[in-house]
Structure 1
C-alpha cells in the first residue's frame, strides 16, 4: 500500500505509460507522482500512432508484465469497482485506452478481443479522418461511415467507453446519437471560449450531456489560451462554462498530461498540427498553476473558489466520470 485512501479523483485522459516511470531510488514505484497528485485512476493512451494492431498487442504485453511487477502500486482497471479498490488500497488504477481505432483496419471483431485484453476507452479517430469518420482537424466532415456505425455498435456491445474528443463535429454528433451508452469527450474544452479545432461547440456539449456523457476539461494551453500562456483561472473558465451550459454533473477532468520531451513534442505534435498548437512551445504547453499531476491537489479548492459546491467538486473530480464509466462498461 503506497498511501492512504483519499478523495476519488479520475483523470479521463492522463497521458501514456511513460508517466508511470518510477523514481531512481524506487525502481518498482510505478506511478508514484500520479498517486502523489491524488489520482485514484487514470486513462492512459496505448500506442498512439500505431498503424496496425501489432504494436498495440505488444503494449498490452508490456502492461501485463507491468501489473505483475508492481501490484503494490498499480491496479489494472476493468470495472468501476476496480477504481474503488485502487482508492481503498492506495494504488493507482490504470484504465487502458486508445485515441483512434484506425489500427484495426476493417476488422471490427478485433474490438471484442481488445476488450477481453482490457481495453476500456476508445476513440474512432484522432485528428485525421479514419475509416470510421472524420477527425476534428479535417476540413471536410461527412460523418460516420458504415464501418464507423458498425464500430459504435461493437464498442457498445463490448462495454468500451467511446471517446469523442478528436472526432469532427458531425461525426461526434452522429456517434452520440447512435451510441446506446453515454460518450465522453475525455480531454476537450469549450470552443466558445477558445476557438481551437480541438474544442467543442455548444451543440456538441449539449448533445453529449443529453446522452448522459461528460466533458473532461484540460489545462493543455492550446485548448484554454489564445496567445499568452494560460493560467489556472483560464482553465477554470472552461469548467464553469460547460457547467453553466449543461450542468456540473457533465464536467470531469482530462488533463492530457503526456510524458513529452521538448524535441519529441516540438518535432512531432507541434510540427504536425500547427493550426491546433498555435504559438505554444514545450515550456508553455500547459497552463501555469496546472502544469502537471503535482498541481492536481490544488484543483478541488480552486473549483470551490470558482463557485462550485462541495458535492459538485466531488462530481467533477471523480463522481461524474464514475457514473459514465459504469454506464458504458456495465456490471
Structure 2
C-alpha cells in the first residue's frame, strides 16, 4: 500500500471518529436500515468468517448500541440464521434464533423485536432499537416447507429467496442470469404470501427476480441493492426489476457496498447517485436504504484490509463471492462509516435537490408503509 493511500485512509479514519453529524432535514426522522447489522467490527477486525456455521457475527457491545442510537436508527433488518458454509441449515438457524433471542433479552432496555409495522414507531417512542429478524437464504427451508411455520413463530419477518449462488428456489447473482424461479420457489413464495412475510429478492439473479415479482400476490422487496444502469454488476438490479418491484407496491433499498462503482471503491457521492436514480425509476414512495452494514465503522482500515483478504478467499472457496468484491475492496463505503452515515446521505440528497419530505420517506417511512402492506 502506498504512502499516499495510507494518508487517504488516515484521513478517512479521522473523519469517521469525529462523531456523528447532525441531520440537516428532517430534524426527527424515523431511520430504518432495511438490511444491516448491529455489531462492532473492531472487536475482531474482520478476522472472523461471516459464513461460518450460523451465518452471523454476534459481536454486539456497548459501542455498537451507542452508535446505532447516535445514528438515530429506529429499526434494522438483521440477518439471522444460516447463510452459507458447513452445518445443517435448519439446525444452525434454530441455534441462531436462540442466540438472537438471548441477546435481545439481555439488552431489553435497548433492543426489541419487530413483528408488525407499528412496532417500528413503537420502538422509537420507547427509545429502543427495533430488530427485524430476516433470512438471506432459503436453504434452511429446502424441501421442508413446513419449517417456514416454525420460523414465522420465532419472529422471522423477511425471507430472502437466494444468496449469491443457486439453490433449490432459483438463481442468485453468481448463477446464470436466465436461471428461473423453480416450482419449489413458487410454492415458497405462495406460502410466504399466506404467512404475511416479506419476499426479499436481494442477491437474486435477474430471471429469478422477475419470476418472483410476477408470482407473488403480495408486494416484494429488494432490500439491499444498487442500480445496474449506473454500475453493470450482477449484484445490482436493472431498471426493469426496480420498476416492476415498485409497480406492485414493493420496496427497494440502496446499499453502501463496493458494487456502487465499477472499481469497487465508491464514495458517498456514488451512494447518493444510486439513490437519486432509484427515485427516478421507482418513485418517491417505494425506496429507501439497506446499507448492508453497521452504524459502527472500522477504525483501522489498514489492519482490516489484511483480514479482508482471508475473508474473500473463504467466500470464493465457498462459491458465494460476487463479481465486484475482492481483497482490495471494502464491503462498505469508506466515507459512509460510523453513526454519521445517514446525516451525510441526507446532506448529499439535499444538495441534489431532493426535498426534505422525500428524504424523510427514504430514511424510513417508505419501509414502514411497505411493512404495513405486507405484515399489517
What TM-score, normalized to structure 1?
0.89
Rounded Cα–Cα distance in structure 1 between residues aligned with 2:197 and 2:248: 16
Q: Is the 8 A contact 2:80 2:135 kept in 1?
A: yes
Where structure 1 has 5 or more consecutive residues not aligned to the other structure, the ranges are 24-28
Question: Does 2:60 correspond to 1:21?
Answer: yes
> Residues 111 and 257 (structure 1 numbering): CA distance in 2 closer, same or farther, change over 3 Å?
same
Aligned to 1:26: none
1:11 maps to 2:46? no
Shift of 1:127: 0.8
1:251 equivalenced with 2:293 (yes/no) = no
Q: Are the structure 2 counterparts of residues 211 and 162 from structure 1 closer, same or farther at C-alpha, using a change threshold of 3 Å?
A: same
Correspondence for 1:64 among 101, 104, 125: 101
1:274 is displaced (CA, Å) by: 5.7
Alignment correspondent of 2:350: 304
Going from structure 1 to structure 2, the CA distance change for 1:294 and 1:310 (only over 3 Å counts) comes to closer
Residue in 2 aligned with 1:37? 71
Q: Displacement of 1:19 after TM fit?
A: 6.8
How far 1:275 moved relative to its partner?
5.3
The separation in 2 between residues aligned to 1:244 and 1:281, in whole angstroms, is 32
Greater relative contact order, per chain length (Cα 8 Å cut-off, separation 6+):
2
Alignment match, 2:84: 49
**1:166-224 deviation per Cα after TM superposition (whole angstroms, max 9, x unaligned):** 11111111111111211111110100100111000111011101111121111101x21
CA drift of 1:228 comes to 6.2
The superposition leaves residues 269-308 of structure 1 with CA deviations (integer Å, 9 ceiling, x where unpaired) of 46655652345625x4322321344422332222222221
1:96-111 to 2 correspondences below 5 Å: 96-111=133-148
3-state secondary structure, aligned to 1:94: strand
Query: Cα RMSD (Å) of the superposition?
Result: 2.3
Q: How many residues align?
A: 319
1:114 paired residue number: 151
Question: For residues 118 and 228 of structure 1, do their structure 2 counterparts lie closer, same or farther at Cα, with a shift above 3 Å needed?
Answer: closer
- Tell me the distance in 2 between the aligned counterparts of 1:56 and 1:212: 30
- TM-score normalised by structure 2 residue count: 0.79
Alignment pair present for 1:290 and 2:340:
no
| Counterpart contact for 2:165–2:320, Cα < 8 Å | no
Counterpart CA distance in 1 for 2:149 and 2:69 is 31
**Correspondence for 1:150 among 175, 187, 202:** 187
Alignment equivalent of 1:277, drawn from 312, 324, 340: 324
Extract unaligned runs of 5+ from structure 2: 1-26, 40-56, 299-303
Which of 103, 128, 132 aligns to 1:91? It is 128
Q: Quick check: 319-328 or 47-56, which moved more?
A: 47-56
> Higher mean Cα deviation, 87-96 or 12-21?
12-21
Residues of 2 paired with 1:10 and 1:187: CA distance?
Answer: 12
Residues 119, 273 of structure 1: CA spacing in aligned structure 2 closer, same or farther, 3 A cutoff? closer
User: Are 2:173 and 2:322, in contact at CA under 8 Å, matched by a contact in 1?
Assistant: no
